[in-house]
Amino acid sequence: MTPLSRLVSAAALGTVAVLALAACSEPAAADSEQAGAGTLTVYTSEPQAKIDALVAAFTAETGIDVEVFRAGTGDLTARIEAERTTGTIGADVLLAADAPTFEGYKTAGMLQQYTPADVNALNPDVVDPDGYYVGTRIIPTVIAYNTAAVDAPPTAWKDLADPKYRGKITLPNPDVSGAAAFNTAVWLSTPELGEGWLEALAANDPVVAESNGPVGQAVAAGTQPVGIVVDYLVRELAAKGSPIALTYPTDGIPYISQPAGIFTDSDDAEAARKFVDFLVSKQGQELAVEQQYLPVRGDVGTPDGAPALSDLALLTPDLQEITKIQDDAVRKFNGLVG
Amino acid sequence: MVSSVRTVSSNAARALPGQRFDPVGAVRVALWLFAAAVIVAPLATVVSLGFGGNHIAQLIDGGIAGAATHSAVSAGLSAVFAVALATVMALLLDRTDLPGRGILRLILLSPLLIPPFVGAIAWTGLLGPSGLVNRFWAERFGGPLWNIYGGDGVVFLLTVHSYPLAYLIIAAALRKVPGDLEQIARIGGASPWRAMRTVTLPLLRPALLAAFTLTAVSNLADFGIPALIGLPERYVTLSTMVYRYIQSGTVDRPLEVVSTIGVVLLLLAVLAVFVDRRLSRRSRQLDGPVTAPQPLPLGGGRIPVGTLAWTVGLALTGLPIFALASQALLPAPGVPLAWDNLTLESIAAAVTAPGTVVGVQNSLLLAVGAGIVCAVAGLVLGVLTTRTRSRDNASLDLLAMLPQAVPGLVIAVGWLIVGRYTGLFDTRWVILCAYVTAFLAIVVQAVRAPLSTTPASLEEAARASGASRLRTLRDVPVAMTVPAAATGGVLVALTAVRELTMSVLLVAPGTQTLGVSIFNLQQAGDYNAASALSLLVTIVGIAGLGLFAGTRAGR
């Protein structure tokens, strides 16, 4: 390599490195908004088919075109974070995950305040009192069991502490699944369950699966006959013919609400508000029920085979408190189940 | 940094300062620019993010030391086993008259095409605590045979999913080992096995090393297997730690935290490459024409060895394929496997799902594109770093290897940020760039072994006849290594088709890939459609491999 060419390559390398470093040290002012004007961009963790149906109904209703970026919650987090460090968020609306995630974005000043038009018809527990986000579905965590392998299904969390379920239980990993971490914190802060129950559950050697999907899969296939999983997955598998059913635990049901919020960076807040309104409107919630979700309002019924919302012992803990203890709860869980 | 090979001043490969234009130097500069754009840019982004805040204390608290140990041990052990298995496989399939070796080769290569997380799900159904085999065993002998969850299971499955890669590299090198040396040993009275052990295996050393480094470094970055098999037993690796911090939406500055983990993985990769360079200094060059080897007759051992090879081959690969096929043909998990229950619904649903068609088009385009770019760049890089002397060879080599060790998610984050500044964001090109970053090492390692055993005498002859340095490189090592680079390119394409973690983060509406289609179906809880799509990818891939291997063998 000649000195000249060595110099050129060193210069090239240096330039790139400097650019990359500069890129990370301060956010650029340039706005690389890709979506054309007049379209709304939504980031969501909803399954593709469900969000497609939702968007189609919204566009038919309002004439507003919607672009969807669908990914798992973790990938959404990474994408939003990468966009935040390099400029503006590329989405108008975020529809994903759980309240604690939104609490984080709220604290970082990334969300706009908006209270949907129909707020009085909604379950007050899913509406952020500060008005930065609103829950769009009730997604409870329940006990699923394989109907071919289990005769007398457990009906309460307490039952899962019974030694007869040793080696038979599977549950999502709170290290990876935000919802599972949230549930762990809720269980620990529920007086009737708490640490004693968690210890007894851990003594039953549960198999910690990666997330809700594999749990439903393992229970339906019979590899682990009992599982702790979100309710709509069980209804969907059962509808397709899997030998799986669920019980809503009588001693309290933790749930997440798949909130929707509008980013401060949104360049079409008007359309974004219409979308949030639609999500919790009667029509939007009827669609949610059709898609096997429990709704956030009382005038649209519930999915086939699901009890009325008023019959469920939903746990509504103080979110601030849960957010505070969540990390410790996960650590405790990892200490016990290992 | 790796210390480079000492320059010998009399070496003709060094241009003197002040000389006129040097074409080889120009190629080298071009290569550096390429490496700067597709490797340094995203990795520098990750590194600078990692140093953007001090998260060391937080990570030590999160158990990064244990995770790093688990990563190094599981990647190292699985690479040793994968190379051992691949060597036996290459010698048996390519050097003996084993019955049905053509078919067996394709069967054994199938794990290359099955996404690791799909394979992991199949194995847990068999060897999980209440899996089929363990239930059967417990009923008869009172305890489970072997619980796949935990570190041993992670090593086992990483081995299963990485030996095909090792095999392809070793088999390509084995083709270059002349048969007449073994013949001479045989004439001298050595037994066939002794001839193989004392002649062929030492000549394969560079290939074994290349395969070991590539599989070890790739296994560092694997996420699906440690997540599904390791986490239930709290066996955390660095790559599953990355996901822990990015998944829980309540971590402050998640990108900085995971980039710090990425930096630790990069350090492990540097270590692996360093060891590789130290060991591969003592390699032998082969001189003379390559004559076709005589297949070794197994004689009386043909049937028992054949039976054993087929049994192991089918046990390792038949099960996940059977699990995939049964899932693809059943309407839902847990429905008993019976003729009446079989349906083509899942396959129809998978093929007609919106996004699948787009996904196939994009994946084909991106996979072929990445295959070609990596094959060309990897070949040039391999030739320059092995056939010319320069102080920056070691750094080029290292650069090409590094991204292999970094989980796809971290590379994708690097490209997300670089993409924002270059206008590639939300285009297909950013995915192509990420693929090239991540898979260039596959080609570099595939061409390294054949290149390092090519004799220097041919190049000396070309130079003596008056060819320029560039012409010499083009006519001798490049021409001789094209087949190995093509194999590498095909490997890149096959890996890219089922790639998931990078694509998921980089896709935008309209740029969906096949991996993301599978992932979306799976996330929607439709495992059967996801299995159907994986099965189709596997079948098409095996057919493609078969054709490719067929044309190669026919030449």
How would DSSP label each residue in A99-151?
A: HHHHHHHHHTT-B-----TTGGGB-GGGB-TTSSEEE--BEEEEEEEETTT-S
Residues 26-65 of B with CB under 8 A from A: 26, 28-29, 32-33, 36-37, 40-41, 44-45, 48-49, 52
Distances (CA, A) of B111 to A256, B142, B160, B222, B391: 38, 33, 7, 14, 39
Q: Which of A18, A70, A83, A111 to mutate to test the interface with B (most CBs of B within 10 A)?
A: A70
Query: Are the beta carbons of B255 and A78 separated by less than 8 Å?
Result: yes
Q: How far apart are CA B505 and CA A71, in angstroms?
A: 7
Q: Do A86 and B128 touch (CB under 8 A)?
A: no
Pairing of strands A259-262, A93-95: antiparallel
Question: How many structural domains comprise chain B?
Answer: 2
- Any binding-site annotation on A232? yes
Q: Which chain B residue has the Cα nearest residue A21?
A: B48
Interface check for B406 against chain A (CB to CB < 8 A): the answer is no
Whether the per-residue pLDDT at A235 is higher than 90: the answer is yes
Kindly state whether residues B448 and B529 are assigned to the same domain.
yes
Answer yes or no: do A5 and B333 touch at CB < 8 A: no
B247 and B354 housed in the same domain:
no
Which residue did the predictor score with more confidence, A121 or A173? A121
Residues of B in contact with A175 (CB under 8 A): 231, 236, 244, 247-248
Residue A1 has pLDDT above 70, yes or no: no
Q: Is B331 on the interface with A (CB under 8 A)?
A: yes
- What residue segments make up the domains of chain A, in order of their start? 40-138+257-306, 140-255+327-337
Structure tokens belonging to residue A182:
């949230």
Cβ neighbours of residue B67 closer than 8 Å, sequence gap 6 or more: B236, B237, B238, B240, B241
B246/A224 Cβ within 8 A: no
**Separation CA A114–CA A128 (nearest Å):** 10
- Distance between CA atoms of A250 and A241, rounded to whole angstroms? 26
Find chain A residues with C-beta within 8 A of B52's C-beta.
24-25
| CATH number for B373 | 1.10.3720.10
Domain annotation covers residue B324: no
DSSP B62: T
Residues B356 and B224 in one domain: no
Domain A140-255+327-337 coded CATH 3.30.1340.10: no
At A287, list the tokens: 């669609």
Question: Given a cut of 70, is residue A12 above it in pLDDT?
Answer: no
Whether residues B218 and B137 fall in one domain: yes
Provide the chain A residues 53-92 that lie in CB contact (below 8 A) with chain B: 67-75, 77-79, 81-83, 85-87, 90
- Minimal Cβ distance to B413: which of A28, A78, A334: A78
Using CA atoms, how far apart are residues B446 and A240, in angstroms rounded to an integer? 46
Q: Are B130 and B213 in a shared domain?
A: yes
Residue B542 burial (CB count, 10 A):
18
Nearest residue in B to A8, CA atom = B29
> Hey, what amino acid is at B134?
N
DSSP annotation of B40 reads: I
| 8 Å CB contact of A86 and B249 | no
Alpha carbons A115 and A261: distance in angstroms, whole number:
10
CA–CA separation, B516 and B352 (whole Å): 15
Does B350 lie in the same domain as B251? no
Is residue A34 scored above 60 in pLDDT? no
Q: Does B508 touch chain A (CB under 8 A)?
A: yes
CA distance B548 to A106: 55
pLDDT of A225 reads 93
Helix (H, G, I), strand (E, B) or coil at B471: helix
- Cβ-defined contact of A2 to B45 (cutoff 8 Å): no
Domain of B165? 50-284+302-311
Model pLDDT for residues A273-294, shown as the tens digit of each residue? 999 999 999 999 999 999 999 9
CB contact under 8 A, A334 and B418: no
Task: Examine the fold and report which residue of B311, B330, B358 is the final residue of a domain before the chain moves on.
Answer: B311
CA–CA min distance B193, chain A (Å): 45
Residue B118, classified by CB atoms within 10 Å of its CB into exposed (0-12), middle (13-18) or buried (19+), is buried
Residue B142 structure tokens: 């009172």
Does the beta carbon of A120 lie under 8 angstroms from any beta carbon of chain B?
A: no
Mark out the alpha helices in A3-98 (DSSP H runs): 3-25, 48-62, 73-86
Residuewise pLDDT in 10s, chain B (555 residues): 333 333 333 344 444 444 567 889 999 999 999 999 999 999 999 999 998 888 888 898 888 999 999 999 999 999 999 999 999 999 999 888 899 988 899 889 888 888 787 788 778 877 877 677 887 888 888 888 898 989 999 999 999 999 999 998 898 888 877 778 888 888 898 887 888 888 888 888 889 999 999 999 999 998 889 988 898 888 999 998 888 888 766 678 888 999 999 999 999 989 888 888 888 776 666 655 566 677 777 878 889 999 999 999 998 888 778 878 888 898 888 888 888 889 998 898 888 877 788 888 999 999 999 999 999 999 999 999 988 888 888 899 899 999 998 888 899 999 999 999 998 988 899 999 999 999 999 999 999 888 887 778 889 999 999 999 999 999 989 998 998 899 899 889 988 888 888 888 888 877 888 888 887 787 777 788 888 888 888 888 888 777 776 665 544
Does residue B412 sit within a domain?
yes
Q: Which of A1, A210, A242 sits opposite B28 (nearest CB)?
A: A1
Q: Which of B55, B420, B469 to probe the A interface (max A CBs under 10 A)?
A: B420
Q: Tell me whether residue B183 is in a domain.
A: yes
Asked whether the predicted pLDDT for residue A82 surpasses 70, the reply is: yes
What is the pLDDT, as a whole number, of residue B512? 85
Q: Do B392 and A9 touch (CB under 8 A)?
A: yes
Report which of B2, B174, B211 is spatially closest to residue B94, judged by C-alpha positions: B174
Strands A255-256 and A65-70: unpaired
B354 and B307, same structural domain?
A: no
CATH architecture classification, A40-138+257-306: 3-Layer(aba) Sandwich (3.40)
Asked whether B68 and B239 are in contact (CB, 8 A), the reply is: no
* pLDDT for position A78: 87
| Contact between chains at A25 and B48 (C-beta distance less than 8 A) | yes
CA–CA dist A108, B103 (Å, integer): 58
Check whether residue B272 and residue B400 sit in a common domain.
no
Nearest-Cα residue of chain B relative to residue A13: B36
B509–A67: do the CB atoms touch at under 8 Å?
Answer: yes
Main-chain dihedrals φ then ψ at residue A118, nearest 5 degrees: -90, 25
Q: Which chain B residues touch A258 with a CB distance below 8 Å?
A: none
Residue B493 lies in a domain: yes
CA A35 to CA A21: how far, in whole Å? 27
Closest CA to B11 of B282, B385, B388, B283: B388
Strand arrangement, sheet containing A133-135: A65-70, A39-44, A93-95, A259-262, A133-135
Candidate from A1-15, A150-164, B30-44 with smallest mean pLDDT: A1-15
Q: Are residues B257 and B356 in the same domain?
A: no
Interface touch A146/B334, C-beta < 8 Å = yes
How close is the nearest chain B Cα to the Cα of A126, in Å?
18
Same fold, A40-138+257-306 and A140-255+327-337: yes
* pLDDT for residue A324: 87
CA distances from A13 to B5, B58, B399, B544 (A): 22, 32, 12, 39
In a domain, B2, yes or no: no
**Is A338 in Cβ contact with B247 (below 8 Å)?**
no
Q: How long, in residues, is chain B?
A: 555
CB contacts of A48 in chain B (<8 Å) are: 353-355, 520-521, 523-524
Same-domain check for residues B406 and B462: yes
Q: Are residues B63 and B194 in the same domain?
A: yes
Same domain, B384 and B533: yes
Question: What is the pLDDT at residue A28?
Answer: 34
Those of residues 2-21 in A touching chain B at CB distance below 8 A are: 2-6, 8-9, 12-13, 15-17, 19-21
Asked if the structure places residue B478 within a domain, the reply is yes
A210 and chain B: CB distance < 8 Å anywhere? yes
Q: Please report residues of A whose CB lies closer than 8 A to that of B15.
A: 1-2
- Which chain B residues are within 8 Å of A167, Cβ to Cβ? 129-130
B232 in Cβ contact with B219 (< 8 Å): no
Distance (Å) from the alpha carbon of B228 to chain A's nearest alpha carbon: 6
In a domain, B352, yes or no: yes
